[in-house]
Structure 1
Amino acid sequence: MPTTLPVRNLEEANLLAHAIVNTIPEPFLVLDADLRVLEASRSFYEIFKVAPGQTQGCLLYALGHGQWDIPALRLLLETILPERVAMDGFEVDHDFPVIGHRIMLLNARKVLYDESDTMAILLAFRDVTERRAIEQEKEALLKRSEELRRQNEVLLQEMKHRVANSLQIIASILMLKARAVSSDETRFHLQDAHQRVMSVAAVQQHLDMSDGIDQIEVGNYLQKLCTGLGTSMIGDSQPVTITVSSDTGMIPSAKAVSLGLIVTELVINALKYAFPIHHPEATIDVRYAIDQDDWTMIVSDNGVGKDADKPPKADGGLGTTIVAALAKQLDAKVTMTTSPAGFSVTVARAAAATPLLQGA
C-alpha cells in the first residue's frame, strides 16, 4: 500500500514543504506565476549572500540589486518554460556582484493545480563553475600536449635529416681518403669503415620509414633492409640472391636497430667473403622466427664456407666483434657453423636448449 504523508491541514502541508525546501543541499526557489519568490532554500541564502527579508515576495529579477536580471534566465522563464512543463540543464554564465563569476545549470518545473488557475515554478541551481574550470584546464593541457607532440615530431624529423646527412658526409670523406692513400692496408680499413657507416645509414633509413612508430613489423623491415643492401652492394660480376623469410610479429624500434645492424653486418660479410669465385646460384638466406619472448635469426649462405684452420678476417675481426656486442645488448647468443655447403650464423634469444630455427 502507498504511504501517505501525515498532513492534516494546510498549515502542516506548508510546514512540510518548507522543511523539504530547506533540506535540499543545492540552491532552490519556488516562484509564483509572476516570478515572485514564494520560498527559498537555506542554501540559496548562504551561497548567494542574500537575506530572507530581501527575498521572499520579491520579483526574481530584483533580487540582490538586480543580480538575477540575466538575459539567459529571462529566456528560460519567459520564453522556453511557458511552452514546456520542465527544463533540465539550462546553463547560465554570469558575474554576480558578491560571489563573482559563476556557471549555473538550472532545472525548472511548472506545477499546475487542478482546482485553480494558479501555478508555481520550481527552480533548482547547480554550480558547475569548478567543473567547467577543470574541463577547460584539461582541454588546454591536451591542446598543449598536442602542440608539444607536433613540435617533437618536427624536431625528430630534423634530427633524422641531420643524422642522415652527417652519415653521408662521413661516408664520402672515408671513400675519398681510401682513394687517396697509397697503403693497401690503410685503404682496406678505410673502405671497411665506409661500409660500416653505410650499414648504419641503411638501418637508419629503413627505420625512418616507420614514421616514429615504436612497434615495427619485423618481416617487412628485414625485407626492405636486405633489398636495399642488395641494390647497393651486389654487382654484375657476381649476382647474389638475398632471400628473407620471417614470422609475422612486431618488435620495438630499439630492438629493430640492433637486429638491423646485425643483419647488415652479416650480409655484408657474406657478400665480401662467401663468393670469391663465380657461383651461378649464389644465395644469402635471412630467416627470423618468433615464439613469444624467444626469437632466432639465421643468416646463411651457400658460398665457400670457412677454413677451420685458417678463418677469414671477418672471423674474430671487427665484424664478429660488432655482431657479438649487438647480440649481447639483445640478451642473445651467437653460433657459427661452416661446411662445404656454406656458412651460417645463428643469433638466438631462446629459453629452450635449442633455437627455434636450425642452421642451414
Structure 2
Amino acid sequence: MVANFSRRKFLLYGSATLSTSLLLKACSSNSTTTGSSPGFKIAIALPGVISDQAWNQSGYEGVQLAKQKLGAETSYVEQIAQADQTEVLSDFARRGYNLVFAHGGQFDAAIQQVAPQFPNTFFVGVNGAVNGSNIAALRIDHLQASYLCGMIAASMTKSNQLAYIAGQQFDATQQELRGFELGAKSLKPDIRISSTFTGDWNDVAKAKEATLAIISSGSDVIYQWLDSASAAVLQTASDKGVYAFGNTKDQLEIAPKAVLTSAVKRLDLAIAYLAELAKQNQLKGQIYTIGLEKPDILSLGKFGAMVPEALKQKALNTKEEIVAKKITFEKCQEAGKDTRCVKKATA
C-alpha cells in the first residue's frame, strides 16, 4: 500500500482538531493497493514535492525501490513545513511504521525530539547529522563531488568569481560549499566564492531573483542545490550566458547551454540499501556516509558540450585519486572553525 498525505490535507484535517492519526487514516482514501506485504512498513517525510526532479523525487523513488525489493508497505507526506515535522514523524511511529526517513538535514531537531518516544521505530535523517539508539543518518559525501565541480568551475570562469546557492544553511550544504571552495582554490588560490541561502528550496521567484543578483555581482559560474527551484537557477544562468551545475539528478537537459555537469546523488539506491539493513535488523544508530567509492550512488553526470575534453579527463582523474585515497579531506580548523581540509598523499 502506498499512501500519499499532502501537507495541504494535513493542515486541513489538523485545523478540524482531529488527531493526526485520524487525519492520516482519513487521508488514506487516496491510497492505492500494490500487493505489497504489510509485514514491514516504511515511510518518508518530504519537505517538497515528489515531482521536483531533484531532492524530494529522489527520496520518494528510494522508498518505492525499497517497496519493490522488500515487499514493504509504504507511505509518504510531502511539502512538510518546519512546524509540522514532529507531528508527522510521531504519527508515522504511532501507526506502527518500522522505518521512517526524514528527507533533509532540517529534520534533525524533530528526529531528536520524537525518536526517544518511539523506541520501536527507527528514524533515518537523510543528510542528517544526528544518531542514537534508534536514529541513523544517511549522508552523501557532498564535499567530494563539489570538489570536482569546484575544479571545473575554476577552469571555466572568466571573472574569477564563483557562487554557491542553496535553500538552507546546515551541515550538508556547508560541506558542499566547502568542497566547492577547496576544488576551485586548488587551481586558483585567489578565486572568490560567494554563498547565498534563499530560505526556501522550492520558491522559483526567490531562486530567480537570487540568481540574477549573483550574476549582476560578477559571478559567472553557479553551483546550485535547490529542489523545485533548481530549474529556475539553471535556466536563468542559461539566459544570462553564465555556467551552472546540476544537483542530485543529472540536470544537463534542463539547460544544456549552461550546465557544465551535475553532482548526481542516487539517494534512491542509498535509501533502499538502508531499508534493506533495517528489515534484516542490521541498521545501527550511526552516520552512514557514502562517497565516490560507490559510483552507482555518487558520481558526476553528463558533461556539457562546452567543457573541454582535457578538463573532463582532469576531473575524472581527480575522482579516481579521491577513491584511491590519494586525495582525502581531513578534519581541520580554519579561522577558528571546524571544517575539512585537503590532504594529498605523499609519494
When the two structures are superposed, what TM-score results if normalisation uses the length of structure 1? 0.20
- Give the structure with the larger helix fraction: 1
Which structure has more RCO (C-alpha within 8 Å, separation ≥ 6)? 2
Larger radius of gyration: 1
When the two structures are superposed, what TM-score results if normalisation uses the length of structure 2? 0.20
